C-alpha cells in the first residue's frame, strides 16, 4: 500500500490545476478535501470548517436497529464518494478530484475506518471496481462490513445486478432510486414487485428506494411489502434548494403524480427531496423501516443539522457519504444526536 505522503503528492499534483482565485470558489467539500491533502487545517475547526469545534467524543457504540433480520447501525456509510459518483451540481472538476483522491488503497483504508468508527453497514455500488474492492477488503483485511446494494433493473432484466450482489456477499438489496421513480411513472410497479421477490429468494433483505414519494404511496396501496423503504430526505433548507413552491389550491392527484411538490422550482444536482413535509407525514402512518439518504444534500447541509432533522422527522437509519477524515466527527455527531433528546413522534422501527 502506498504511503500517505505518496498518495498526497499524487493527489496534489492532479489537483494542482486550481489557482488561488479558483480555490475561492470551491464548495465546502472541495475546501475540506484540499486542505486535508495539504496537511493544512481548513478555516475554523471540525467538520466543514465553519468555525465549529470538532464533535465531542461520545463513548459507546453507534445505536443499532433492525432491518429485516439484520442488525444495522443507524448511521450507514454511503457509497457515492468511494464509488466516484458524487453529485457535483455544476462543478465540472469534482469527478476528477474524487478519482485523484480515492485510489484503490484509499478506498480500502476508508472501509477499514468505517469499522474502526463503529459503522457496521455500507452501501455498495454494483459495478466492477466497487465489487472487486469490497471483495478485497473482506479477504485481505478480514472486513466484517455488511453490504447493502442498489440494483439497476428494467422491464427485461431483474436479475443481472442481483446475481453479482449475491456473489459479492450482499445481505440487503433494493431497487435503485432512479428505477423506483421511473418504473412508477411507466406504470410498471410489477417490475418492482418481481425484483423484491427475487431479492428475498436470494436470501437478502429486500427494499425499495425512490427519490419521489409517489412510488412509495403506490407500493403501500398495492401491498408490495418491501422489508424497508429508502427515501431521499432532508429539510431543503439551503440556498440552492430555492424558495418553497407556491401550492396550487386546485391541484389534484394524477396517476403519475400523487403528491404536490413543495420545492419544485430548483433543478440543481443536489435537489433530490422536494416533499420533506409529506415524506415525514407518510412515514408517520406506516410501520416500516425508513432508511433516509441524501440527508446532507450533497454536502450542502451540515451533518449536525441533517442527521438531527432526519432522525427527528422519522428516519430509522441515515446513509451518508463520508471522506475518511470526516468519519470520527460524523459518528460522534450521530451518537450524540441519538443519545440526546430528540423531538421525535414516530416510533422507532
- Cβ atoms of 292 and 349 within 8 Å: the answer is no
Is residue 347 in a domain?
Answer: no
Q: For residue 20, what pLDDT is reported? A: 46
Q: Mean pLDDT score of the chain, rounded to an integer?
A: 87
Question: What's the CA gap between 11 and 26, in Å, rounded?
Answer: 16
Whether the pLDDT of residue 5 is over 50: the answer is no
pLDDT level of residue 178 (50, 70, 90 thresholds): very high
Q: For residue 54, what pLDDT is reported? A: 82
Is residue 69 in a domain?
Answer: yes
Question: What's the CA gap between 11 and 100, in Å, rounded?
Answer: 5
Cell of 26: 470551491
Is residue 27 in a domain?
Answer: no
Q: For residue 171, what pLDDT is reported? A: 98
Is residue 86 in a domain?
Answer: yes
Mean pLDDT of 108-136: 97
Mean pLDDT of 114-127: 97
State which H helix or E strand residue 100 sits in. Answer: helix 94-101
Whether the pLDDT of residue 19 is over 70: the answer is no
What's the CATH number where 133 sits?
3.20.20.100
Q: Is the dihedral of CA 184, 190, 192, 193 positive or negative?
A: positive
CA distances from 230 to 97, 210, 256, 317 (A): 28, 6, 20, 9
Q: List alpha helices for 155-225, DSSP H.
A: 160-167, 177-185, 189-201, 214-222
- Which residues span the domain enclosing 289? 63-339
For residue 255, count other CB atoms closer than 10 A to its CB: 10
Q: For residue 37, what pLDDT is reported? A: 53
Whether the pLDDT of residue 6 is over 80: the answer is no
- Burial (CB < 10 A; 0-12, 13-18, 19+), residue 200, is middle
Whether the pLDDT of residue 7 is over 70: the answer is no
State which H helix or E strand residue 205 sits in. Answer: strand 205-210
Is residue 30 in a domain?
Answer: no
- Cβ atoms of 114 and 137 within 8 Å: the answer is no
At 221 the three-state DSSP class reads helix
Indicate the number of domains in the chain. 1
pLDDT level of residue 136 (50, 70, 90 thresholds): very high
Is residue 344 in a domain?
Answer: no
Cell of 183: 418504473
Cell of 262: 413543495
Torsion-angle region of 137 (φ positive above 0: left; ψ -120 to 50: alpha; else: beta): alpha
Is residue 314 in a domain?
Answer: yes
Q: Which residue has the cell 416500516?
A: 288
Q: Which of 182, 233, 172 is nearest to 207 (CA)?
A: 172
Q: For residue 44, what pLDDT is reported? A: 35
Whether the pLDDT of residue 84 is over 50: the answer is yes
At 333 the three-state DSSP class reads helix
Is residue 23 in a domain?
Answer: no
Amino acid at each position: 500500500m502506498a504511503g500517505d505522503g505518496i498518495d498526497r503528492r499524487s493527489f496534489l499534483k492532479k489537483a494542482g490545476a486550481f489557482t488561488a482565485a479558483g480555490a475561492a470558489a470551491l464548495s465546502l467539500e472541495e475546501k475540506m478535501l484540499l486542505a486535508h491533502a495539504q496537511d493544512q487545517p481548513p478555516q475554523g475547526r471540525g467538520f466543514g470548517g465553519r468555525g465549529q469545534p470538532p464533535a465531542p467524543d461520545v463513548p459507546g457504540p453507534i445505536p443499532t436497529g433492525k432491518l429485516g433480520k439484520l442488525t444495522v447501525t443507524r448511521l450507514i456509510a454511503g457509497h457515492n464518494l468511494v464509488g466516484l459518483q458524487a453529485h457535483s451540481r455544476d462543478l465540472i472538476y469534482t469527478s476528477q478530484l474524487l478519482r485523484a483522491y480515492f485510489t484503490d488503497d484509499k478506498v480500502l483504508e476508508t472501509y477499514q475506518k468505517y469499522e474502526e468508527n463503529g459503522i457496521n453497514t455500507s452501501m455498495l455500488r454494483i459495478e466492477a471496481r466497487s465489487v472487486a474492492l469490497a471483495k478485497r477488503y473482506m479477504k485481505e483485511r478480514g472486513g466484517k462490513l455488511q453490504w447493502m446494494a442498489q440494483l439497476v433493473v428494467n422491464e427485461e432484466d431483474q436479475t443481472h445486478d442481483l446475481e453479482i450482489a449475491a456473489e459479492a456477499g450482499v445481505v440487503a438489496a433494493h431497487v435503485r432510486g432512479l428505477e423506483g421513480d421511473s418504473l412508477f411513472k411507466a406504470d410498471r410497479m410489477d417490475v418492482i414487485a418481481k425484483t423484491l421477490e427475487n431479492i428475498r429468494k436470494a436470501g437478502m433483505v429486500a427494499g425499495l428506494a425512490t427519490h419521489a414519494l409517489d412510488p412509495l404511496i403506490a407500493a403501500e396501496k398495492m401491498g408490495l411489502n418491501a422489508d424497508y423503504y429508502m427515501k431521499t430526505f432532508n429539510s431543503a433548507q439551503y440556498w440552492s434548494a430555492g424558495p418553497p413552491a407556491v401550492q396550487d389550491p386546485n391541484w389534484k392527484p394524477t396517476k403519475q403524480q400523487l403528491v404536490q411538490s413543495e420545492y419544485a422550482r430548483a433543478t440543481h444536482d443536489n435537489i433530490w427531496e422536494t416533499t420533506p413535509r409529506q415524506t415525514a407525514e407518510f412515514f408517520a402512518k406506516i410501520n416500516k423501516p425508513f432508511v433516509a439518504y441524501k440527508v446532507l444534500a450533497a454536502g450542502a447541509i451540515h451533518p449536525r443539522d441533517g442527521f438531527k432533522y432526519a432522525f427527528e422527522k422519522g428516519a430509522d437509519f441515515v446513509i451518508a457519504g463520508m471522506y475518511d477524515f470526516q468519519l470520527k466527527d460524523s459518528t460522534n455527531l450521530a451518537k450524540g444526536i441519538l443519545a440526546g433528546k430528540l423531538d421525535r413522534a414516530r416510533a422507532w422501527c
